[in-house]
Structure 1
Amino acid sequence: MRKMFLLLVSATMLVQAAFSQSAPPVWKEAQSGGYKYRFIPGDPMQARFYTLSNGLTVILSVNKKDPRIQTLIGVRAGSNSDPATHTGLAHYLEHLLFKGTSKFGSLDWAKEKPLLDNIEKLYDTYNRTTDEAKRKAIYRQIDSVSGVAATFAIANEYDKMMTNMGAQGTNAHTWVEETVYQEDIPSTAVDKFLAVQAERFRDPQFRIFHTELEAVYEEKNRGLDNDGRKMYETSLTALFPTHNYGQQSTIGTIEHLKNPSLIEIRKFYNKYYVPNNMAIIFAGDFDPDYVIRKVDAAFSYMKPKPVTEYTGPKEHPITQPIVKEVFGPDAENISLAFRMPGATDTRNTVLLNVVAYVLSNGKAGLLDLNLNQQQKLLRASISLYPWKDYSVFSLNGRAKQDQSLDDVKDLLLSQLTALRNGDFDESLIKAIVNNIKLDEIQGLESNETRANSLMDAFIKHRGQNWNYDVGMIDAMSKVTKKDITDFANKFLTNNYVLLYKRKGEDKDIAKVDKPPITPVAVNRDAQSDFLKKVAAMPETPVQPLWLDFQKDIQKGKAGPAELLYVQNKDNSLFRLHYRFDMGNFSDRQLGMALEYLKLAGTDKFTSEDISKQFYQIACNFSVNVENEETTVTLSGLQENFDKAVALFDHLLTQCKADEKVLTGLKNRMLKSRADNKLNKASILRGLRSYATYGAKNPFNLQLSNEELNALTAEGLVQQLHDLSNIRHSVIYYGPATMASVSGDVARLHKQPAAFKDAKPAAAFTRTVNTGNKVLFADYDMVQAEVNWVRNTDGYDASRTAVVDLYNNYFGYGMGSIVFQTIRESKALAYSTYAFYASPVKKDDKYSMLAYVGSQADKINEAIVGMNELLTTLPESDKAFETARSSMRKGIETERITQDGIVFNYLGALKLGLNSDIRKSVYERAGQLKFSDLQQLHQTEVSGKPYTYCIVASEKRLAADDLKKYGDVQKLSLEEIFGY
């Protein structure tokens, strides 16, 4: 897959099923536009389910909010369906479905085809050959013929077509039971989209295979550095000793990755990519009668075939804990994983869903209240994988300081004991149902959420149980406490896999060794006749809509605070924000104070009481402390607005000092800090900040451990009690009138007669790059992560259009110059990008950022490859026009709505703007020429000194290699993190 998909279903996500004690809604049939469809009365998505004459499932859900459509094309076949002798095959195929057909992706199909046929035969011979010398000789032939074949190929032509029509989010994923291809398209691009997709699945050609194979190798090796991925695979192997859930990983075994077979991939495609095993889903702004007619016409060529689904063996019950260990450099943690009834078992799936919420719902679950709120460990959570044959349910925990993983295990097990004994209030079930109703309302606003829910239903049960899904909330409301305890006593006992993630060297790592690859041609300016035909298809342009800050936002007062108001005319939800123009730069202990607030009690309520009350009224509060802003957000049902605002204000103004609570928070904070030092992504972020600002930078602007330990509960409480006295604005989005909001906030939110100003913020000056430099951090991993950092000139609003177009052309996305060159042509990295980063405030500067994540043994090639692009900007007229078209269509179909209007306005103010800058960007983009991008590149990017930020293992890099790129400075973790 292009992006590894390992879905961790949170406690707030619905499992698609229903409770058998409640009769589900009844399917109905209707006809419109000459096509019959099925639907469920009362379905909030108003989804139409069509089955075309060839068996293709089409599911449509109309949402007129934005002039865009989220599309998904799904196949009910994933790694479960891989042949046992060729695991990873479904994933390989997913990658290859982006390579084109005989009609697109090829300069001359007649000349290319015999070369591709020869490559397929060579791979088959390679697959069956065991002698290493002969294998190397065969691979040299593959590399040679592939290089010739590539001269007739047009790399990324699929991406170019999608980008040109204004598509966004081009991607796909493969998982155990599915392969899904996704696009977010303008509502005017339906005909173009269907023309491309119909051709894409008609006769895919597996061109430029060996460089794509290299990308899969990289993906596998990146997984070897990912302790979470290793935990996931180890737990499945133990839970499913015979079922493919545990026996066949999505990405495949190393042995099978080294021996791919294009013949077997083609067999897989022919077997599973048939209409009666596929679904097309649209969610967004469209006419369903028009779309179904067009889908039918486009895909009528597909012929149905019998499909034998994988039916896994029934696993023997687990009767006692199975203990496994995983080693790696990341922080230690523990998991208890249970094998549960599958998603097609509607009765037990509803019960599992309720059980998951009772254990953890973010506020009032057993783990939330008894473990997290009481700080008995660092963090406890759950995860859920609802598959067809079995579901996997796990409890996960991290230890605080001076606590063993076995201590964490005992704490997690204690909550299962409480669940089995019924040690929870039955009123929690009603609160769960009310909060799920809230989630459902919020989910309806997102086309992506709609489409993914419908696709889940198709993958699990071909959508046949959508009536159960629609009836889910009603079914859950009928679950009793006894149902829950009976379920827990049956399924949540000693039947688990106990998985320890320990810090230490993984001695079983065997990375995929990759044969040498000669870079292939990408024919960047070439265009197939098919692309030209699609580009010429008519479409009704969408008129862009600009924000008018004077009309779209109402301004007033809520007490002494400024009130910025946008009305919600769609539903009954509200969001209320208190926005402070201060953050970490003004007060390093502010974040700690607000973390303490989440754990604090008052003279009337314990912290647990407050969490329960928020959950009971289906409302929530959250706090986001950034560098220069702090935002407190209250959200939920408008009918409970007064209760939510009053409850939070009571907490803020009446929270009391409790040194025991603070001691627990300090313990957890210190452990989190230690864990951050074990995380390679955090280390790389720290290096980037160091490169951008120097030794004293925003990333390490932290309280030292000594300063942290010196904090007192009384001091934090005084700071919290004073918070509302500091100048802040109030932002409201909801159904109430401005007058009522103004009065209600003034009445419920305690404020002074006159505000105090916030403390001045610490200032950071960006470094001046005077020469090449290397910042290095040692980390035990197979991969190497490299960032290029260079600070440039100050902000200039008039440059926004050229900067945005430069980024679209050069280094954003899969159709960009950087991606095509580094990954598609040279196979040097799985992930890569480069962009000219704009500041968020008017007195700041731009910076150039680039990234490559590669194998440590390819780091020199990868750095050279990126440096060549940073030195010389390749020119492609076609790529330039595609980037410009995509940029303009993206703006045309972008709709900034809800409280996003206010935050866009506040962002504009920070840049010194008083209007929607997108208008000038849109107009200017149509006038830009490639020479404008070339000038930016020559002036700010090419031939300039950079700071290289490198995270890699010293054991895998030669020190002399790093010196080639500049003066090397190895940073300690304390220098990076500030503690």
Structure 2
Amino acid sequence: MKFKHLIISCWLSFAGVAVMAQSQFEWKTATANGYPYKYVTGDPTHSRFYTLKNGLTVILSATPKQPRIQTFIAVKAGSKTDPATNTGLAHYLEHMMFKGTDKFGTLDWAKEKPLLDKIDGLYEQYNSTKDEAKRNEIYKQIDQTSGEAAKYAIANEYDKAMAAMGAQGSNAFTSFEQTVYTEDIPSSSVDKFLTLQAERFRKPVLRIFHTELEAVYEEKNRGLDNDSRKVFETMFAALFPNNNYGKQTTIGTIEHLKNPSLKKIRDYYNSYYVPNNMGIIMSGDFNPDVMIKKVDQYFSYMVRKPVPAYTFGAEQPITSPVKRDVYGPTPENLTVAFRFPGASTRDAQMLSLVSDILTNGKAGLFDLDLVKKQKLLSAGAFSYVLKDYSALVLQGNPVKGQTLDDVRGLMLDEITKLKKGEFADDLIPSIVNNYKKTVIQQNEEYGSRANNLMDAFTSGVDWKTNVSTVSELSKITKAQIVAFANKYLNDNNYVIVYKHQGEDKDLVKVDKPTITPVSVNREAQSPFLKLVNGMPANAVQPVWLDYNRDIQRAKAGQLDVLSVQNKDNSLFRLFYRYDMGSWNNKLLPVAAQYLQFLGTDKMSAEDFSKAFYKLAASFNLTANTEITTVSINGLQENFGKAVTLYEDLIANCKPDAKALEGLKVRLKKARENAKLNKTAIMQGLLSYAQYGAQNPFNNVLSNEELDAIKAEDLVALLHSLATYKHTVVYYGPQTATALAASLTPLHKTPAQFTEYPTAKQFNRVASDKNKVLFANFDMVQAEINWIRNETSYDAAKTPTVELYNNYFGGGMSSIVFQTIRESKALAYSTYATYAEPAKKDDNSVFVAYVGTQADKFNEAIKGMNELLNDLPESEKALSVARDNIRKSLETDRVTQDGIIFNYLAAKRRGLDFDQRKTTYDSLNKLNYADVKAFHNNEVKDKPYTYCVVASEKRLTDDDLKKYGELTKLNLNQVFGY
């Protein structure tokens, strides 16, 4: 896969609560344009399910809201079906499916093929040779021959083709029993898309293999640095010892990674990439009668074949807790998992409802008893449903002073309550209400529709089950839930994984092989790609926002109301937006968190959570650095009740000293945990690099200030919130005028607003010399960011910035990705971007990134620096970048409340128009000379601050000092506490 493989969904839809035949939800058949299809009556997505003559499943869900289509090409095969001797193979193949065929991705197939055949044979020799010296000699031959073969290869030609179409999100992922290829394309490019995909799956060529193999090594090492992944794999190994869910991992073992077999990969492709084991899922702007004929024409060449059956030994019952320990640098936590039957069973389908009774974000047992009462730092339950087996997974993080066994006891106590039926009688109806809202939300987006259809296809869940969920949920009784819980959840039948904070002494990384950079033939283009690019596409006219036309305005008392009317459904979203944040008052973020634990004289905090959930509504208060936002959303029919609930809470909440002490304990633990998070550490380094020792990242309360906070002060701040000027943003069924009339009596404001507290100012430091900021973290990889403060914001530069970013560092067809990853195999993930600021008075920032193995640190920096100081010229790549931006803009539709937030973002930059139009109108006037001049002025030969997070055991000071003045920061300096 490209950037995402293991899919761990912490919330699954209620796919399949027990379904009895219902007249309103039935499978029916119909025929249109000569193609028979099935559909489910009452399906709001109006999805059609076709099976072509060769067995290929095609699922189409048309929705014309945006001129784009989300596509998935899904194979019902993944790591579960990897050979035991070649684990990680499905994932390897997924990577290689981006490399082309004998028609594209090659300059001269006749000359390339003998070299690729030789590489095949060399790998077989390499894998069967045990003597390390002989293996090294064979690998040298592989490297040399690969370099020769690469002279005839065109790297990333697939990515270039998709980018030129205006595709977004080109990617793929592999999990246990699915490998899925995803693209979001303009509907006008569908013929180009189908032409390329049909060719892609015809007979993939495994070219540029050893550099892609190194990318997989990088990914494996990133996984070794990911404690969450280690916990998940350990849990599954204990839960499913007889099934490949537990016996194998998606990435594969280090031994198998180091001994790949191209022959085995082709065997896998030939066994599982067959039409009767594949599905094409599309949702978006198209006519299904026309689309099915196109798909059939392009994919009818595929030939049906028997698919190898997957067999496994039945798991034995767990009769006593199976305990496992995982070590790593991140914070300690606990995971408990119970085993359940597979996806097609009624009991597995009931599991989703049970997980929502435990955790739904508002009124579940975990939500109310463990989170709301602050007994744990965080806690949740989710179902993981697979074909052969499923699992109920409980996860908890301790507060300071708790042991992991304390966490276990608290979570299992909630399971006991579930088994006794100690949850509210109205919880199931509330879940039904919320699921109704979720269905509406998901059906609004073509991407969500396609994703749900794809998941159902690969997991083998009947789509009728999804469609009838709301109806069937309402029939489940509390007694049935209790009986179900008692059947499967007892005191001994679970796996428990203790994640300890500490050194993983069993950690073994994949060492880097010696790889000679290969040619990427950046300017080359195969005849096939020329054919695809030359295919006609329907013209699509861009649609720009007119803020005066597209936004309704009104007054609610003294407040400005900005509104877009929802004419599609009954959902509303309401926001109160304040132009102040933590820079104005460092207490604001704490007060925002405190509110969720408060009640009034008449209602407790738990009562408010239950009341909101019962209404299928929610609210949230967030305080960022410069903007504080209240958001309330739900069904319009409950608008008045939801707003009244929030207004009652914010106006009448009472100080709660116990809740504040609990919050302080949680905040301190969260702070400790942040220091064990390499991503947070890197964010701190980047802020330090831009602003110096006192910066926005560490502009937080000190521990002493945190201890000194009084409940009365936080509550006073919450009570005063409405006295500050704010803007009302609304998306919903009402007009702006009607909304203002209904909101005014509910949302009280003073006759005169209070002035905002003066905001703290942060000044960027001059980027006048090379510096290195280093923070130590126990990890296999090294994370490197280049950063420099650029000139002040200039709207006139935006079109050039957009083209430069797309060409140079933004995506898999960019110069940076092709060079650093494809040619030199120096990183799994790499990019570079010139980031314009959010407000007109601020500066732009240039950032480049490489995540690499520590032993490739110097090579990686050298590779990026060469690009920063000498921009490669490629008219083909520039044309692809220009086409991608133009076609993306033509099909980009800013809708719903996105219109208002687009306006507010433009306003912060001092603009009163849709800047996308300026970019679009300027694109054809920009050429390589403009991009080169921009690069030379802003990037070339400039001093940078290198922000490095890595293990000091793997990098020396001498390594770091090569690149600038070294400052090794401790975590107190980074975090400010």
TM-score, normalised on structure 1? Answer: 0.99
Matches of 2:168 and 2:120 in 1, distance apart?
Answer: 33
- Residues 584-603 of structure 1: pairs in structure 2 closer than 5 A: 584-603=582-601
Residue of structure 2 equivalent to 1:359: 358
Select 1:653's aligned residue among 651, 654, 663. Answer: 651
Deviation per residue, 1:460-491 (Å, 9 max, x gap): 11x6x111221122111111111111111111
Matched, 1:775 2:766: no
Whether contact under 8 Å (2:56, 2:276) holds in the other structure is yes
Q: What's the CA shift for 1:22?
A: 6.2
- Residues 752-771 of structure 1: pairs in structure 2 closer than 5 A: 752-771=750-769
Matches of 2:575 and 2:516 in 1, distance apart?
Answer: 55
- Residues 563-962 of structure 1: pairs in structure 2 closer than 5 A: 563-962=561-960
Whether contact under 8 Å (2:564, 2:730) holds in the other structure is yes
Residue of structure 1 equivalent to 2:67: 67
- Residues 187-226 of structure 1: pairs in structure 2 closer than 5 A: 187-226=187-226
Matches of 1:453 and 1:472 in 2, distance apart?
Answer: 13
| Structure 1 residue matching 2:797: 3-state secondary structure | helix
Matches of 1:879 and 1:383 in 2, distance apart?
Answer: 44
**More off after superposition, 353-362 vs 149-158:** 353-362
Deviation per residue, 1:162-218 (Å, 9 max, x gap): 000000000000000000000000010110000000000001000000000000000
Deviation per residue, 1:488-523 (Å, 9 max, x gap): 111111211111000111011111123200000000
Residue of structure 2 equivalent to 1:272: 272
| Structure 1 residue matching 2:790: 3-state secondary structure | strand
Matched, 1:466 2:498: no
Deviation per residue, 1:70-122 (Å, 9 max, x gap): 00000000001100100000000000000000000000000000000110111
Residue of structure 1 equivalent to 2:489: 492
Residue of structure 2 equivalent to 1:109: 109
Residue of structure 2 equivalent to 1:163: 163
Deviation per residue, 1:735-783 (Å, 9 max, x gap): 0122221111111012111211211211111111111000000011110
Matches of 1:10 and 1:724 in 2, distance apart?
Answer: 35
TM-score, normalised on structure 2? Answer: 0.99
Deviation per residue, 1:353-390 (Å, 9 max, x gap): 11111101000000000110000111111232210111
**More off after superposition, 304-313 vs 628-637:** 304-313
Residue of structure 2 equivalent to 1:425: 424
Q: What's the CA shift for 1:731?
A: 0.6
Deviation per residue, 1:6-36 (Å, 9 max, x gap): 333234x304223145658221011111111
Q: Which runs of 5+ in 2 are unaligned?
A: none
Deviation per residue, 1:790-823 (Å, 9 max, x gap): 1111111010000000000000011100000000
Matches of 2:674 and 2:70 in 1, distance apart?
Answer: 36
Matches of 2:660 and 2:17 in 1, distance apart?
Answer: 43
Whether contact under 8 Å (2:564, 2:735) holds in the other structure is no
Q: What's the CA shift for 1:623?
A: 2.0
Matches of 1:223 and 1:110 in 2, distance apart?
Answer: 39
The alignment covers a number of residue pairs equal to 975
One-letter code aligned to 1:99: K
Residue of structure 2 equivalent to 1:174: 174
Q: What's the CA shift for 1:287?
A: 1.0
Residue of structure 1 equivalent to 2:100: 100
One-letter code aligned to 2:931: L
Residue of structure 2 equivalent to 1:318: 318
- Residues 280-295 of structure 1: pairs in structure 2 closer than 5 A: 280-295=280-295
Q: What's the CA shift for 1:825?
A: 0.2
One-letter code aligned to 1:726: Y
Matched, 1:437 2:436: yes
One-letter code aligned to 1:514: K
Residue of structure 1 equivalent to 2:142: 142
One-letter code aligned to 1:343: A
Matches of 2:466 and 2:443 in 1, distance apart?
Answer: 14
Matches of 1:642 and 1:313 in 2, distance apart?
Answer: 56
- Residues 466-545 of structure 1: pairs in structure 2 closer than 5 A: 466-493=463-490, 494-545=492-543
Matches of 1:20 and 1:804 in 2, distance apart?
Answer: 50
Matches of 1:599 and 1:342 in 2, distance apart?
Answer: 38
Whether contact under 8 Å (2:227, 2:328) holds in the other structure is yes
Deviation per residue, 1:663-707 (Å, 9 max, x gap): 000000000000000000000010001001111111001000110
Matches of 1:478 and 1:119 in 2, distance apart?
Answer: 61
Matches of 1:775 and 1:457 in 2, distance apart?
Answer: 47
Whether contact under 8 Å (2:5, 2:250) holds in the other structure is no
Relative to 1, partners in 2 of residues 1:22 and 1:486: Cα closer, same or farther, differing over 3 Å? farther
Whether contact under 8 Å (2:776, 2:949) holds in the other structure is yes
Whether contact under 8 Å (2:359, 2:382) holds in the other structure is no
Residue of structure 1 equivalent to 2:331: 331
One-letter code aligned to 2:482: T
- Residues 955-974 of structure 1: pairs in structure 2 closer than 5 A: 955-974=953-972
One-letter code aligned to 2:350: L
One-letter code aligned to 2:625: N
One-letter code aligned to 1:104: F
| Structure 1 residue matching 2:280: 3-state secondary structure | strand
Whether contact under 8 Å (2:563, 2:735) holds in the other structure is no
| Structure 2 residue matching 1:556: 3-state secondary structure | strand
| Structure 2 residue matching 1:77: 3-state secondary structure | coil
| Structure 2 residue matching 1:698: 3-state secondary structure | coil
Matches of 1:232 and 1:375 in 2, distance apart?
Answer: 25
Whether contact under 8 Å (1:329, 1:780) holds in the other structure is yes
Whether contact under 8 Å (2:352, 2:382) holds in the other structure is no
Identity %: 58
Q: What's the CA shift for 1:297?
A: 0.4
Whether contact under 8 Å (1:105, 1:157) holds in the other structure is yes
Q: What's the CA shift for 1:875?
A: 0.4
Matches of 1:402 and 1:132 in 2, distance apart?
Answer: 50
Q: Which runs of 5+ in 1 are unaligned?
A: none
- Residues 11-160 of structure 1: pairs in structure 2 closer than 5 A: 11=11, 13-20=12-19, 23=22, 25-160=25-160
Matches of 1:240 and 1:928 in 2, distance apart?
Answer: 57
Residue of structure 2 equivalent to 1:306: 306
Deviation per residue, 1:130-189 (Å, 9 max, x gap): 111110010000000000000000000000000000000000000000000000000101
Residue of structure 2 equivalent to 1:407: 406
| Structure 1 residue matching 2:822: 3-state secondary structure | helix
One-letter code aligned to 2:83: P
Matches of 1:278 and 1:855 in 2, distance apart?
Answer: 36
Deviation per residue, 1:699-724 (Å, 9 max, x gap): 00100011011001111001100000
Q: What's the CA shift for 1:402?
A: 1.1
